[in-house]
């Protein structure tokens, strides 16, 4: 008895939430439930106008926001994963890659490009979380390495936008070594005195945090992004305690001294431009 007994009386779902929304036309904020027309949401740079929630966006959107007139030349667009380990879990890695490419229209989890930002040359690398959690395998490492090479060769500032769960398990130690590879390249970028800004967005964890994402001349982040080395679940299981409020948010990381500033998406382009300009060697 009592299995189907309603414990709290009345209908508790607000009618607004219950409403069937045709996909694509409206955007409903997952944080505050505020609903806007998709077109307006895009105009607001995929940020909730009510609670300032920054929706996760990909390279397409960031390039649109940052490059003047959305004009850019993509670098090494045709690098794809080679499955060096013939990795199989519940699925073959090659099949997973193919399916993800088809679903997302992307080749891998990062795109790199060069173009103008407020009139100045810039190289931008941007990760796509929709591609296997933005995980870093050989392709991600190699594209970032080559983007840095391009920056060094042409003396153009480098901006890396991170959004990743970390290293890609299906390439195992090859993925791990991409951490060393990208960091080694950044050592050369540093020696060439070409400025590097690392923008950390929701979420940036694992091997990406433990390599290029934390190595900017400036490390900056969007508001309220999850930023950390170990994921919150792993930490919780290890210490068997609840995690403090606001743990591993951008604000937390800023407070502990690992970020230079937090920037809202609407100010992103201008503030990054300004930062690069102030770092320019005259």
Partner 1 sequence: MAVYLPFEEPIKELEEQLEKNIKLQKEKGVDTTEIILQIEKKIDETRKQIYSNLTPWQRVLVSRHPERPYTLSYIEYLTKGNFIELHGDRGVKDDKAMVGGIGEIEGHQVVLIGQQKGVNTKMRQYRNFGMPNPEGYRKALRLMKLAEKFNKPVITFIDTPGAYPGIEAEERGQGEAIARNLMEMANLKVPIICIVIGEGASGGALGIGVGNKVYMLENTWYSVISPESCSTILWRTADYKEKAAEALKLTAQDMYKNKLIDGIIKEPVGGAHTNPEETFENVKKVVLKDLKQLKKISPEKLAEERINKFCAMGVVNEE
Positions that interact with partner 1 (CB under 8 A): 76, 78-82, 84-85, 87-90, 137-139, 141-142, 145, 167-169, 171-181, 183-188, 190-191, 206-207, 209-215, 228-230, 234-235, 238-239, 241, 243-244, 247-248, 256-258
150: Cβ–Cβ under 8 A, 6 or more apart, which residues?
75, 112, 114, 123, 156
The residue assigned the tokens 């594209």 is 143
Q: Bridge partners of 56?
A: none
* Token pair of 7 as six digits: 């414990």
Structural tokens at position 265: 């998406």
The two structure tokens encoding residue 173: 């130690």
Residue with smaller CB distance to partner 1, 239 or 281: 239
Nearer to partner 1, 114 or 209 (CB): 209
- Which is nearer to partner 1, 76 or 273 (by Cβ)? 76
Burial class (CB in 10 A: 0-12, 13-18, 19+), 233: exposed
Give the integer Cα–Cα distance in Å for 42 and 19.
22
Residue (65 or 188) nearer to partner 1, CB: 188
Total residue count of the chain as it appears in this document: 282
Q: Which helix (H) or strand (E) holds 233?
A: helix 232-239
Q: Are strands 120-127 and 110-117 parallel, antiparallel or unpaired?
A: antiparallel
Q: Which is nearer to partner 1, 256 or 280 (CB)?
A: 256
Of 33 and 246, the one with the shorter C-beta distance to partner 1 is 246
Helix (H, G, I), strand (E, B) or coil at 226: strand
Rounded to a whole number of angstroms, the minimum distance from the CB of residue 258 to partner 1 is: 5
| Residue 1 CB neighbour total at 10 angstroms | 4
What would the two tokens of residue 31 be? 């944080």
């Amino acid at each position: 008895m009592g299995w189907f007994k309603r414990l709290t009386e009345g209908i508790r779902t607000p009618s607004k939430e219950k409403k069937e929304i045709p996909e694509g036309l409206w955007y409903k904020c997952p944080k505050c439930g505020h609903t806007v027309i998709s077109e307006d949401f895009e105009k607001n740079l995929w940020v909730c106008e009510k609670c300032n929630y920054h929706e996760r966006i990909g390279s397409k959107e960031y390039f649109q926001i940052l490059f003047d007139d959305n004009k850019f030349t993509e670098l090494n667009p045709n690098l794809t994963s080679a499955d060096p380990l013939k990795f199989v879990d519940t699925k073959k890695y090659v099949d997973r890659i193919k399916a993800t490419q088809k679903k997302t229209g992307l080749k891998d989890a990062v795109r790199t490009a060069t173009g103008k930002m407020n009139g100045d040359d810039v190289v931008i690398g941007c990760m796509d979380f929709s591609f296997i959690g933005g995980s870093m395998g050989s392709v991600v490492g190699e594209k970032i390495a080559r983007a840095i090479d391009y920056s060094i060769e042409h003396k153009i500032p480098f901006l890396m936008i991170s959004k990743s769960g970390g290293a890609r398990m299906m390439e195992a130690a090859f993925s791990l070594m991409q951490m060393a590879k990208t960091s080694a390249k950044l050592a050369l970028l540093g020696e060439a005195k070409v400025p590097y800004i690392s923008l950390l967005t929701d979420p940036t964890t694992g091997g990406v945090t433990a390599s290029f994402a934390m190595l900017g001349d400036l490390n900056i982040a969007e508001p309220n992004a999850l930023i950390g080395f170990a994921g919150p679940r792993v930490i919780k299981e290890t210490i068997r305690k609840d995690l403090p409020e606001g743990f591993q948010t951008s604000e937390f990381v800023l407070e502990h001294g690992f970020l230079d500033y937090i920037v809202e998406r609407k100010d992103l382009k201008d503030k990054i431009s300004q930062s690069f300009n102030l770092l320019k060697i005259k």
